[in-house]
């Protein structure tokens, strides 16, 4: 850089030149900073949602471009969270975009040391067989004094935080109708 250019880049001269007398605006921003823009600016659609991670239920704005989620921010109109998200909620864009997201059924057979991919229909049949067998084997009509129980203590459900409201509703209905008592979700633990 020439001496003249170095001199002109002197901070006080930069402030005067850019009329940034308090030195909190263009005089102190680098070219790299000026080139940056909010990542939400590229979105072509914005949908309102609710963070699935815990029972607080913070409001979210989901920004998408060409049908792909590109950012998730807090919703300032939410009376619950008023635009805020904790670090988990702020990272929930990774629920769909994380490169290490597991998208196949993974199965480790009893006593096996390795996991294997499983066809989803095969996995569904295996789960159904186990549910039917466990329910039959552990079903309780009544307690030892003859009072009705109509339940099984042999099946439990633990939902994950990435399940949505509709999925949780159906899971609760399904397991209650099967007679299960222990029906929980990670968000309440
Ligand atoms: S995980 Fe964080 S952002 Fe999500 S609902 Fe709970 S407090 Fe809100």
**Structural domains of the chain, ranges and CATH numbers in brackets:** 3-35 (no CATH), 39-97 (2.20.25.90), 119-185 (no CATH)
Ligand 1 atom with the shortest distance to the CA of 87? 2
CA distance 57 to 89: 10
Q: Has residue 189 got a pLDDT over 80?
A: no
Question: Are 151 and 126 contacting, i.e. CB atoms less than 8 angstroms apart?
Answer: no
Of 50, 54, 55, best ligand 1 pocket probe by most atoms within 8 Å of the beta carbon: 54
Which residue has a Cα nearest atom 6 of ligand 1?
Answer: 54
Which residue has a Cα nearest atom 2 of ligand 1?
Answer: 86
Question: Are 185 and 157 contacting, i.e. CB atoms less than 8 angstroms apart?
Answer: no
**Which residue is associated with the tokens 């996991």?**
115
How would residue 1 be classed by pLDDT, with cut points 50, 70 and 90?
low
CA distance 73 to 52: 14
Strands 148-159 and 139-142: antiparallel
CA distance 84 to 13: 40
pLDDT tens, 98-156? Answer: 999 899 999 999 999 999 999 999 999 999 999 999 999 999 999 999 999 999 999 99
């Amino acid at each position: 850089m020439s001496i003249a250019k170095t001199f002109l880049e002197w901070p006080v001269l930069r402030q005067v030149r850019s009329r940034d007398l308090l030195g909190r605006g263009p005089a102190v921003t680098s070219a790299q900073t000026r080139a940056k823009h909010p990542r939400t600016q590229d979105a072509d659609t914005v949908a309102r949602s609710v963070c699935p991670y815990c029972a607080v239920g913070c409001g979210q704005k989901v920004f998408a471009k060409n049908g792909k989620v590109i950012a998730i921010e807090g919703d300032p109109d939410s009376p619950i969270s008023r635009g805020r998200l904790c670090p988990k909620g702020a990272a929930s864009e990774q629920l769909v975009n994380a490169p290490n997201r597991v998208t196949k059924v993974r199965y480790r057979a009893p006593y096996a040391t390795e996991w294997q991919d499983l066809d989803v229909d095969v996995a569904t049949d295996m789960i159904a067989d186990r549910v039917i067998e466990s329910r039959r084997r552990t079903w309780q009509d009544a307690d030892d004094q003859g009072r009705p129980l109509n339940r099984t203590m042999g099946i439990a459900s633990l939902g994950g935080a990435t399940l949505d409201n509709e999925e949780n509703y159906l899971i609760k209905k399904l397991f209650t109708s099967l007679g299960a008592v222990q029906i929980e979700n990670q968000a309440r633990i």
